[in-house]
Structure 1
Amino acid sequence: MTQHIRHSAYFCLMLLVALLANAVRIQFLDAGSYDDNRANRRSQIARYHQPRGDIVVDGAPVTGSRDSGEQLRYERTYTDGPLYAPVTGFASQVYGTTLLEHVKDAVLSGTDPALKPFPVMNGFTRARSRGGDVVTTIDAAAQRAAYEGLDGRKGAVAAIEPATGRVLALVSSPSYDPGALSGNAAATARSWARLNADPDKPMLNRAVRQTYPPGSTFKVVTAAAALDAGVVTDLDRPTHSPDPYPLPGTRTTLMNEGEGCGDAPLREAFEWSCNTVFAKLGVDVGVRRMAATARAFGFNDTRQRIPFAVAPSTFDTSMDRAQLALSSIGQYNTRATPLQMAMVAAAVANRGQVRSPYLVERTTTNEGATVATAGSRPVRAAMRPETAERMKELMEDVVTEGTGTNAAIPGAIVGGKTGTAQHGLGNAGVPYAWFVSWAQNEDERQPKVAVAVVVEDGSAERGDITGGGVAAPIARSVMETVLNSKD
């Protein structure tokens, strides 16, 4: 009898071990396949069972969560959604996440292990922490100044702090309300269809995901390359540049919008944006050195993140001399995002040093404890410090005496460069209006802000599109706002 009891006990123990082994297999080894099964809604229900963490601007959240009372309980809400859409992106129960909502989803949704006080234990229980917060570098007043300056016109604004790389404003227009995509009702699908069908592409982040021919704003790069290479040694010496300029190896001649560009010194050519002078300078510098300088400013960088991906700005590294001439005035295949051109202005303002731009200052728990910080940012030299000082002179002259007078701010030192970029088949499209700039208060030692503005206003008359007339006032408004802000 005892033997039978013992055998039964062994058998029950074996069953228990098998049951535990199967539970372990399901819980740990096969968990991924169950999680990924389309029929399993547990993870989705858990994801929306609690409020999402917030994205914070100037100490105030610009996001929130609404209790819908449905199975997918909490929906994302946005304060001033169109204003901050190029920063936040959207978090949708149907269409996923974009921009900061995407790259910081683990923190915001509460799945980041760093949010858990006991990560090992939570790993066994698979418990979800309360969503953490993402604190941005955005200056709320500068963001609004940029948004209101564009006033619904197609275009974008990027502003950064030269000494640190902090992104102070990131605006794209026209914009959209991310809250329209949050839920899973029929209205959400209608909003998605409408936004994707809109020819103005309101969901396109033009500040970081759209590249444009930079036009004459690229002459900042060309001038820096010429000074660094010793092609120009005196800002006021004639450059021996013919007007018109015959493109090397072709029968085509390059013209200027105004007069007086023949043999113009670099200072005058920069003030009045002489195409012929800068086309010849680019050819004299050569494709290798021009490409190296462009790369030092950030062009051809396919890995840039702020933390979401930025479309690479491009400068060809293999072209003939005629193409190089056009590339050196921001045409041909040269393309740039507004963020990239803000980096160009910031490099001049920061003694030739380029700081990698960043948008997130820190992430925190729901209770405010710091989880991670931005830390020090990588820096590289775009030009020699003495070249940067001469470039500052040139950009100041543009604002005080040249094509950028609309950017002048009383009581401040402002440097800028206008641009009117041709595009389209045979350059038949309405030109894009550009302005890149930096500014500092007269009593400060270094510039406080660098800005790039592009306006692609298809409703304007061709002759009315100029960087100085259209884009410079927007840049001035953003710079003035930052200069007047309290640190």
Structure 2
Amino acid sequence: MTRCIRHAAAFCALLLLALLVNATRVQVVQSDSLDHNPANRRQAIVRFGQPRGDIVVDGRAVTGSKDTGEQLRYERTYKNGPLYAPVTGFASQVYGTSFLEEAEDDILSGTDPMLAPLPLWNDVTRAQNPGGKVVTTIRAPVQQAAYAGLGGKRGAVVAVEPATGKILALVSAPSYDPERLSGTSRPVADAWTELNGRPSRPMLNRAIRQTYPPGSTFKVVTAAAALDAGVVTDPDEPTKSPSPYTLPGTSTQLTNEVDGCTNASLRTAFVWSCNTVFAKLGVDTGLSAMVDTARNFGFNDRGLRIPSPVAASTFDTSLDKAQLALSSIGQYDTRATPLQMAMVSAAVANGGSVKSPHLVERTTTADGDVVDTTGTRTLRQAMNPGTAVRLREMMTEVVEKGTGANAAIPGATVGGKTGTAQHGVDNAGTPYAWFVSWAQGADDPEPSVAVAVVVEDASADRGDISGGGSAAPIAKAVMEAALSGGGPR
């Protein structure tokens, strides 16, 4: 009898040990996979069981949370949703997150371990911290000026601080209200279907996720390459540039929209945007030098984040001479985001140095204690400082007496470059109107803002569309807002 009891006790002990081992396996070894199993709703219940942290612009939250009393309790709310949608993105119980809501999700949701009062505290207690705050570099008056300037037209505006890379405005139009995607009701699904079905694609962030042919604004890059390579040593010397210019190896002739481009100097060609001069200049500079300079400005960089990922702007690395000629005037396969072209303008304004663009100034706990800050970082030196000085002079003349007169601001020094980019089959599409610029206030030692504007559907006859007519006035309004106190602080 005693022997049977011993065997039964041993068997029970083995069963208890097996239960402990299994509990350990489930709670420790498999905990992470079970936590993230799509069938486990506890994660979602916990995630939406507390208010989400806020995204802050100019000291004010542009997001909030609403207690619905439902199982997924707190829904995201947005103030001036369409104005800030390209910055915030959306946070939806059904469709996930985008842009800053996605890139800074750990901070906003409270899951970032840096929000815990002690190291490994959350791992031990399984507690969730209150959502932290994301303080952006956006300046409300600059953002508002960009949004109002586009007026609902398809396009985008980006404004940056040249010396630091801080993004002061990031606008894409048409826009949408991200609050329509908060919640789990039928209207949320209807809104998702309707927004994704619109031909105007309001949920596309044209500022950082759409690339366009940059047209003549790319001539800033071509001029920098030619000056750095020594192909042009004096911007005022005549160039050997016929008009029209026959593309190498073809019978295709490239023409100009203005007169006086035959053998024009680099300065004249830049101010009046002579296609023939810059197409030949790109060929004379050579593919290798053009590719290197474009890369230094940020083209062909597939890893750029602000912290949301940015679509790569591209300059083809394998071109024949005819293709190189067209690429050098921002056509053929050359593509750029508005953010990239703002970086080009900022590099000219900042002595040739390209600063890493960023949208987040700092992240904090719910109580305001700093978790992380974004410092100024140099990405590359796009050109020699002396070349940047020459380009600043030429961009200033574009505004003072050339195609960019509509961007002039009384009492400020403004530099710019217009662009009209052809696209579509046989260039039949409505041209994109571009303008890139920078501005320096009367009391500022250096330019304090650089801007890029692209308008897809300028409200003008095809023959009248130009960056100077459609995009330059928008850039002017944005620069004025930045210079009048809406800029860096």
| TM-score normalised according to structure 2 size | 0.97
Amino acid across the alignment from 2:159: A
Give the superposition deviation at 1:235: 1.3
Tell me the matched-pair count.
487
* Cα separation, 2, equivalents of 1:378 and 1:24: 49
Equivalence for 2:205: 205
Matches within 5 A, 1:436-447: 436-447=436-447
1:40 is matched with 40
Q: Paired residue for 1:191?
A: 191
| Counterpart position of 1:118 | 118
Identity, in percent, stands at: 68
Partner of 2:134: 134
> Which residue in the other structure is 1:101 paired with?
101
Would the aligned equivalents of 2:353 and 2:378 in 1 still touch at CA under 8 Å?
A: no
Contact preservation (8 Å) 2:435, 2:467: yes
Kept in 1: contact 2:53–2:108 (CA 8 A):
yes
The correspondence of residues 157-236 of structure 1 with structure 2, limited to 5 A, is 157-236=157-236
Shift of residue 36, structure 1, vs aligned partner: 3.5
2: CA distance between counterparts of 1:452 and 1:222?
A: 17
Quote the residue 1:409 is aligned against. Answer: 409
Within 5 A, what are the aligned runs for 1:311-326?
Answer: 311-326=311-326
In terms of mean alpha carbon deviation, does 171-180 or 440-449 score higher?
440-449
- The residue type equivalent to 1:221 in the other structure is V
Cα distance between partner residues in 2 of 1:400 and 1:376:
32
Residues of 1 paired with 2:288 and 2:481: CA distance? 40
2:21 alignment partner in structure 1: 21
**5 Å matches for 1:247-286?**
247-286=247-286
Q: How many Å apart are 1:444 and its aligned residue? A: 1.5
Q: After superposing the two structures, state which structure 1 stretch, 382-391 or 23-32, moved more.
A: 23-32
**Equivalent residue number for residue 359 of structure 1:** 359
Alignment CA distance shift 1:125-1:24 (3 Å): farther
Question: Does the CA-based 8 Å contact 2:156-2:338 persist in structure 1?
Answer: yes
CA distance in 1, matches of 2:311, 2:74: 33
Give the Cα separation in 2 of the matches to 1:484 and 1:354. 25
Matched, 1:332 2:332: yes
| Cα displacement (A) at 1:16 | 4.6
Query: What is the 5 A alignment of 1:233-248?
Result: 233-248=233-248
Secondary structure of residue in 1 paired with 2:469: helix
Relative to structure 2, which stretch is displaced further, 120-129 or 197-206?
Answer: 120-129
Give the match for residue 456 of structure 2. Answer: 456
Unpaired runs of 5+ in structure 2? none
- Partner amino acid for 2:65? S
1:292-336 Cα offsets, whole Å, 9 max, x none, are 000000000010000111000000111111111100000000000
Cα distance in structure 2, aligned partners of 1:178 and 1:119: 35
Instruction: Give the secondary structure class of the aligned counterpart of 1:158.
Output: strand
Q: Who is 1:477 aligned against?
A: 477
**Could you tell me how far apart the structure 1 residues matched to 2:93 and 2:245 are?**
58
Q: What corresponds to 2:423 in structure 1?
A: 423
Structure 1 residue runs without a partner (length 5+): none
2:87–2:100 contact (8 Å) kept in structure 1: yes
Aligned partner of residue 248 in structure 1, secondary structure: coil
The letter of the residue matching 1:345 is S
Amino acid at match of 2:461: E
Shift of 1:379: 3.2
SS at the partner of 1:366? coil
Tell me the SS of whatever aligns to 1:169: strand
Q: Find the aligned partners of 2:102 and 2:295 in 1 and give their Cα distance.
A: 28
CA RMSD of aligned residues (A): 1.6
3-state secondary structure, aligned to 2:163: coil
CA separation in 2, counterparts of 1:121 and 1:306?
A: 30
Partner secondary structure for residue 314 of structure 1: coil
Q: Please state whether the residue corresponding to 2:120 is helix, strand or coil.
A: helix
Question: Secondary structure of 2:313's match?
Answer: coil
1:218-238 CA-partner distances (Å, limit 9, x unpaired): 000001111111111111110
* Partner SS, residue 437 of structure 1: strand
| Mapped contact 2:36–2:43 kept (Cα < 8 A) | no
Q: Aligned pair 1:300/2:300, yes or no? A: yes
* TM-score w.r.t. length of structure 1: 0.97
The CA deviation at 1:119 is 3.6
Q: Aligned AA for 1:476? A: K
Aligned positions of 1:147-158 closer than 5 A: 147-158=147-158
Give 1:370's aligned residue: 370
